[in-house]
Structure 1
Amino acid sequence: MKQAIQAIESNGALRSALRRAVRCGDAVGHRAVDSFGAELQRQLRPRRLPDDVADAGMILLAQSKVDRTSPAVAEVPPPGELARHLGEPLGGGPDEPRRRLSALRFQRLLRASDSDDRLQLLRRAMALLPAKVHPLSVLEAWLDLHDEGGRRRFARAYFNSSTGDAPATSDDVSA
């Protein structure tokens, strides 16, 4: 991921092209994107992801709400960080708080029919954040949205943001 971030930061044309990308396929053809996809597949070896997942991951890393420059990027963020930020209560009643990402938008994100829809919805959700987020949090959320167990972890982190509960672990998902 460091190489992907460096490529985005050092190549203004690539960063600009990725930020303007509307579909996952818009990232195809850039050497940095291909390298990122190969490395992502190597890291997730037992799990086989479609090529557009890596392409969209690179698009998400290029977004303005991703912190690619601070020293904190070297640290590993807690699991579910992006989902918790999206689920932060902004007011409303204790039974039904108004969250940064509305419940309707959250449901649409979880039920997105394909990677292109998911990409568009996650980019819109990230635009609601008040501060930049860790790139690993973005990539973790993106990968979580591609399988049932991951979507449960994402939802648990989103809803636990208002209660202050600890982040969900992989043990919680299997139970």
Structure 2
Amino acid sequence: MFHADFIQEFSTYNNDDDNYSLLVPAGWVQGNGKAVGERLVTAFYPANDTSVNVNVLITPVGPDYTSLGSFGTVDAFAETLVNSLDRSWKKPPGQAAKLIDSKSKKGFYYIEYTIQQPGEKKRHLLSVVGMRFNGWYNRLYTVTGQYFQEDESKYGAVLGKVVDSFKFV
């Protein structure tokens, strides 16, 4: 979906507790934590550059959300996500967010977009979103890889491959 051909070594990260796997570039560091509320986050990043990273965010959702379709089509979901991040219309202008692409494939939503704070470098983000029932409730899995736009040639294909590799096990 996102990646191109390139040479890079990867290892497979398996999370047996949350039943997912993805490829991680060799030598990247792993960090775990909790986001706001009951959300769990696992991040991977090069040891020398935390501005480039991939994170897996797991969010419990209510019983009325039974599939990704409960959030709308992939295009509606992507537009809502990106529009919620865009503050470029404010005076003075805030963060600018732009949707590049959105696709639905094999039960996942794939979203590509950029974000730029005023006076800062543009960030490029690649996300895959999926939903799974864990026996008690549905959970939304969001995997996002991000890098500075100027580093596209260095990290774009690598993070694309990581995001594309996400699957439930």
TM-score exceeds 0.5: no
TM range (shorter): under 0.3
Greater fraction strand: 2
TM-score (norm 2): 0.27
Greater fraction helix: 1
